[in-house]
Structure 1
Amino acid sequence: MTPSDTELRRTLGVGDAVVVGLGSMVGAGIFAALGPAARAAGTGLLLGLAVAAVVAYCNAMSSARLAALYPASGGTYVYGRERLGAFWGYLAGWSFVVGKTASCAAMALTVGAYVWPEQAHAVAVAAVVALTAVNYGGVQKSACLTRVIVAVVLAVLACVVVVCLGSDASDAGRLDVGVSTGAGGVLQAAGLLFFAFAGYARIATLGEEVRDPARTIPRAIPLALGIALVVYVMVAVAVLSVLGPAGLGRASAPLADAVRAAGAPGFVPVVRVGAAVAALGSLLALILGVSRTTLAMARDRHLPGALAAVHPRFQVPHRAELAVGAVVAALAATVDVRGAIGFSSFGVLAYYAVANASAWTLSSGPLRRVVPVVGVIGCATLAFALPVVSVVVGAAVVGAGAVAYGVRRWVASRSS
Structure 2
Amino acid sequence: MAEELGLPGSLSIALGGMIGGGIFAVLGVVAGITGSLTWLAFVLAGLVALGAGYSYNALNALVDASGGSVTFVRCFVGNTTLAGMVGWTLLVGYIGSMGMYAVAFSEFALGFSALPSSLGGVPLRPVLSVGVVALFVGLNLLGARASGTAENALVGGKIAVLVALGVGGIVFATAVEPRPLDYGLDRLPAFGPIMSAAVSFVAFQGWQLLFYDQESIENPTETIRKAVYIAIPSAVAIYVVVAVVTTNLASEALRTHPHTALASAAEPLLGYFGYASVGFTIVSLAALLSTGSALNATLFSSGHLAKGMVSQNLLPDRISDGEADGVPPTTLVVLGAITAALTVPGSLGAVTSFASLAFIVVFGSVSYLAFRHREEATINPLPPLVGMVGAVSFLPLLFWHLYHNEPETFVTVLAIAVVVALAEVLYFEHDALKEEVVAFERDVEAAVENIGHDREEP
Answer yes or no: same fold by TM over 0.5.
Answer: yes
Q: 2:210 — aligned with what?
A: 203
Does structure 2 conserve the Cα–Cα contact (< 8 Å) formed by 1:40 and 1:181?
A: no
Q: Quote the offset at 1:279 in angstroms.
A: 0.5
| SS at structure 1 position matched to 2:313 | coil
CA 1:177–1:321 in 2, change beyond 3 Å: closer, same or farther?
farther
Q: Quote the offset at 1:383 in angstroms.
A: 2.1
Does structure 2 conserve the Cα–Cα contact (< 8 Å) formed by 1:76 and 1:355?
A: yes
CA 1:182–1:412 in 2, change beyond 3 Å: closer, same or farther?
same
195-204 vs 251-260, which moves further: 251-260
Which residue, 351, 364, 367 being the options, matches 1:356? 367
Does structure 1 conserve the Cα–Cα contact (< 8 Å) formed by 2:35 and 2:247?
A: no
CA 1:71–1:192 in 2, change beyond 3 Å: closer, same or farther?
farther
Does structure 2 conserve the Cα–Cα contact (< 8 Å) formed by 1:60 and 1:222?
A: yes
> 2:16 aligned with 1:23, yes or no?
yes
2 CA distance for matches of 1:317 and 1:64?
A: 27
> 2:45 aligned with 1:38, yes or no?
no
Q: Quote the offset at 1:307 in angstroms.
A: 2.3
| SS at structure 2 position matched to 1:79 | helix
In the superposition, the TM-score normalised over structure 1's length comes to: 0.88
Q: Deviations over 1:4-28 (max 9, x none)?
A: xxxx997122222112111112222
User: Following superposition, which runs of at least 4 residues in structure 1 exceed 6 angstroms of deviation?
Assistant: none
> 2:113 aligned with 1:113, yes or no?
no
Matched to 2:105, the amino acid is: V
Q: Quote the offset at 1:308 in angstroms.
A: 3.0
Does structure 1 conserve the Cα–Cα contact (< 8 Å) formed by 2:198 and 2:397?
A: yes
Matched to 1:148, the amino acid is: A
RMSD: 2.7
Q: 2:234 — aligned with what?
A: 227
| SS at structure 2 position matched to 1:175 | coil
1 CA distance for matches of 2:91 and 2:279?
A: 37
Does structure 2 conserve the Cα–Cα contact (< 8 Å) formed by 1:128 and 1:329?
A: yes
> 2:165 aligned with 1:157, yes or no?
no
Contiguous gaps of at least 5 residues in structure 2 = 112-116, 118-123, 436-458
2 CA distance for matches of 1:383 and 1:74?
A: 24
> 2:252 aligned with 1:238, yes or no?
no
Q: Quote the offset at 1:395 in angstroms.
A: 4.7
CA 1:395–1:69 in 2, change beyond 3 Å: closer, same or farther?
farther
1 CA distance for matches of 2:348 and 2:67?
A: 25
Q: 2:393 — aligned with what?
A: 381
1 CA distance for matches of 2:348 and 2:207?
A: 23
Q: Deviations over 1:65-98 (max 9, x none)?
A: 2233346443211111111222332232122111
Matched to 2:394, the amino acid is: L
2 CA distance for matches of 1:323 and 1:272?
A: 30
Matches for 1:116-155 after TM superposition, within 5 Å: 116=110, 118=117, 119-155=124-160
Which residue, 155, 176, 182 being the options, matches 2:184? 176
Matched to 2:334, the amino acid is: A
Q: Deviations over 1:250-290 (max 9, x none)?
A: 33312112112543332221211111111100110111222
Bigger-Rg structure (1/2): 2
1 CA distance for matches of 2:266 and 2:100?
A: 24
CA 1:65–1:94 in 2, change beyond 3 Å: closer, same or farther?
same
Q: Quote the offset at 1:112 in angstroms.
A: 0.4
Q: How many residue pairs are counted as aligned between the two chains? A: 406
Which residue, 294, 307, 315 being the options, matches 1:303? 315
Does structure 2 conserve the Cα–Cα contact (< 8 Å) formed by 1:384 and 1:391?
A: no
> 2:103 aligned with 1:96, yes or no?
no
1 CA distance for matches of 2:230 and 2:428?
A: 40
Q: 1:413 — aligned with what?
A: 432
1 CA distance for matches of 2:314 and 2:323?
A: 21
| SS at structure 1 position matched to 2:344 | helix
Matched to 2:256, the amino acid is: R
Does structure 1 conserve the Cα–Cα contact (< 8 Å) formed by 2:250 and 2:262?
A: no
Determine what percentage of the aligned residue pairs are the same residue.
23
| SS at structure 2 position matched to 1:364 | coil
1 CA distance for matches of 2:387 and 2:167?
A: 34
Matched to 2:368, the amino acid is: A
2 CA distance for matches of 1:172 and 1:319?
A: 56
Does structure 1 conserve the Cα–Cα contact (< 8 Å) formed by 2:81 and 2:428?
A: no
Matched to 2:355, the amino acid is: S
Q: Quote the offset at 1:409 in angstroms.
A: 4.3
In the superposition, the TM-score normalised over structure 2's length comes to: 0.81
Does structure 2 conserve the Cα–Cα contact (< 8 Å) formed by 1:136 and 1:318?
A: yes
2 CA distance for matches of 1:41 and 1:65?
A: 34
Q: 2:342 — aligned with what?
A: 331
391-400 vs 194-203, which moves further: 391-400
Matched to 1:56, the amino acid is: A
